[in-house]
Chains A and B, each alone.
Chain A
């Protein structure tokens, strides 16, 4: 009982957090690029205009002392036959200015990982999008159902502070919106390539 109360207390949202507020502002920013298919309090499934792709947007709260930041984690699931357990972070390169895109492999050591890293860094559409997009995180993760792409843009977030007291939504500009869409499209295109799929024999031997 006490443990449950303590757990509840430790996991309660920060003071001043309004579930869905940042998402609602972001939905207004997304207009013309992403449109919602279904909306829960703090998450939504978005359809991409002129495309069959669907993306899940979920509010994430990052706590600080007497302050919190609400950002949106955008997730695209790409159905594919792929070996599970691969995790790759994608980031920009450069010391002062963005010079390109690099991959950091967090888990997985197969040839698929090397191939995929090469495709990501060599894809002109993806590089173009990620050179424009202000993002905090961009990662790929494989599971038995396929690839999960997660991008957390810097915009479409809200900062709530208590010393001094203010709250401010940071919008996602049209250019950032287009870059976000470009990144998802390029990554989907890479991840659905046939040469990345796990061959049937290999999958069977792995199961065995």
Chain B
């Protein structure tokens, strides 16, 4: 059996079906910064943001076809790292992977930290007034991060029992408030569904694409499921497409409800900041739709969701660092477990320090949250572009490779997604924000990880940093692992048959 016969057989078998593909494609929609981004987007742009969302959706659907083709060629658990390794070499692969995973923690994790402090006090007016006056609301978020750092250090799984209920609760909350907001009598007289826009020129539309992209990122989580997915070549593209469309429908409904129910009044004496550009818009919307009970409901929901997201950040990153230390990619100290609690304490400390130090550096400035989100979008965008370039490179260099799924109308989807992401990054600054607040931290971090990737590939891995890795090499490695396990299992089953 050739390696490509094995590839076909590998893609056809599997134990998980389409519902899992769909659920895994829905991305990071429940994270508080996503909801705040939509709120700010509609607040700043109105109908223009809705247009930017449509463009971002088309871009991401095009990107989904690229991810699907990459997955059908390389159904490995390494996903993004393997796709870029085969297309552009190890240097780009390490840079893209760290940009997509670690930089997102640096930027979006910090945004979540600052934001969770705001949401934690939203139902306590007196406390919030005091914190607002002293500008220390972000310290509540830092306190939550430290608390969950300690919780993870002592090995307590804080949300293990409540995860399903919390996820269901947050989905229901978003859906109920969005539908109720649309069905209720409007408080704000609007022109059109989302109101007037500051400007309708193309540059303004482009400036909202970056924000709109944030809603759809993360849909690629489904691609590493390929080895276990039944009929992966069909189910994964379908799951990604339907998942992205569902997110778009929910966000359009939420935006329409928000614009109808919350008057976008100025919240500072200068009249430069409006309520829909601040986190206060979310409880104000809830109160308008469901009264004081709605404010309590959404406050509790976001408090728990924010806390649970922070807890997840504290739980996941240290394990990744432990695994990397075990593989020799990081110093051994990251593989140190505390004798008593059996937790990777150094990794937990890093996971706590990164968002806390970043929030402290920014002094928890609420105006910086959107900058952090947009810097995270830039990081994600770089990784997506590298994946697209890899797929294009493989189509040109290796047309002979079997592809169970081929991106239709090649290279049109790749041009659409790459051009869209480049435009989104180029015009990432929405009106009223400063571009250097987004570009400087993003480029500094990207430069640092690129330098690390170069040093690592040349001096540690001792490989050519820009030479693509042969697809066969990656597939052989994946099948070798599978064969090893399957041979053992096959041996067992044969044994059972002869010795019933």
- Interface residue ranges, A against B (CB under 8 Å): 9-10, 12, 14-16, 18-21, 24-25, 27-28, 31, 35-39, 41, 62-69, 91-99, 134-137, 154-155, 157, 159, 161-171, 173
Contact = CB atoms under 8 A, between A and B. Distances in A.
Nearest to B80: A166
Given A69-B315, A169-B77, 17 more contacts: A15-B23, A16-B20, A20-B15, A21-B227, A36-B492, A63-B161, A64-B159, A66-B309, A95-B339, A154-B337, A154-B342, A159-B319, A159-B323, A161-B312, A161-B316, A165-B220, A168-B320
Contact of B160 (A64, A95, A173): A64
B193 interface: no
Contacts of B370: none
B218 interface: yes
B15 A18 contact: yes
Given A18-B225, A93-B340, A94-B339, A10 B164 contact: yes
Contacts of A27: 484-485, 488-489
B155 interface: yes
B74 to A, nearest CB: 15
Interface in B7-28: 15-16, 20, 23-24, 27-28
Contacts of B224: 166-167
Contacts, number: 171
A171 B228 contact: no
A65 B24 contact: no
Interface string B51-90: 0000000000000000000000000010000000000000
A133 B309 CA distance: 30
B30 A66 contact: yes
Interface stretch (B99-107, B266-274, B465-473): B99-107
A138 to B, nearest CB: 9
Interface of B: 15-16, 20, 23-24, 27-28, 30-31, 77, 100-101, 104-105, 108, 155, 157, 159-161, 163-168, 218, 220-222, 224-225, 227-228, 305, 308-309, 311-313, 315-316, 319-320, 322-323, 326-327, 335, 337, 339-340, 342, 344, 481-482, 484-486, 488-489, 491-493, 495-496
Contacts of A14: 163
Contacts of B323: 159, 168-171
B227 to A, nearest CB: 8
B482 A164 contact: no
B159 A65 contact: yes
A167 B223 CA distance: 10
A62 B312 contact: no
Contact of A28 (B155, B339, B484): B484
A35 B491 CA distance: 10
Given A21-B228, A169-B77, A63 B163 contact: yes
A19 B15 contact: yes
Contacts of B320: 159, 166, 168
11 contacts: A16-B222, A18-B16, A21-B228, A31-B484, A63-B160, A136-B342, A162-B24, A163-B312, A164-B104, A166-B320, A167-B224
Given A64-B311, A163-B218, A168-B323, A97 B342 contact: no
B246 to A, nearest CB: 14
Contacts of A63: 157, 159-161, 163-164
A29 to B, nearest CB: 9
A25 B485 contact: yes
A92 to B, nearest CB: 4
Nearest to B164: A10
Contact of A163 (B160, B309, B493): B309
A36 B305 CA distance: 41
B24 A15 contact: yes
Contacts of A37: 492, 495
Contact of B496 (A10, A38, A154, A155): A38
Contacts of B160: 62-64
Given A36-B488, A134-B337, A159 B342 contact: no
Given A18-B225, A25-B481, A162 B218 contact: yes
Contacts of A25: 481, 485
Contacts of B157: 62-64
Contacts of B167: 65-66
Contacts of B228: 18, 20-21
Which residue, B27, B165, B222, B312, has most C-beta atoms of chain A within 10 A? Answer: B312
Contacts of B15: 18-20, 41
Contact of A24 (B30, B225, B485): B485
A201 B121 CA distance: 65
A52 B164 CA distance: 42
A42 to B, nearest CB: 10
Contacts of B482: 24
Contacts of A39: 488-489, 492-493
Contacts of B164: 9-10, 12, 63
Contacts of B319: 69, 157, 159, 168, 170
Which residue, A14, A39, A68, has most C-beta atoms of chain B within 10 A? Answer: A39
B374 to A, nearest CB: 16
A94 B31 CA distance: 38
B312 A66 contact: yes
A66 B77 contact: no
B221 A134 contact: no
Given A62-B157, A97-B339, A162 B28 contact: yes
Contact of A67 (B23, B315, B485, B495): B315
A68 to B, nearest CB: 8
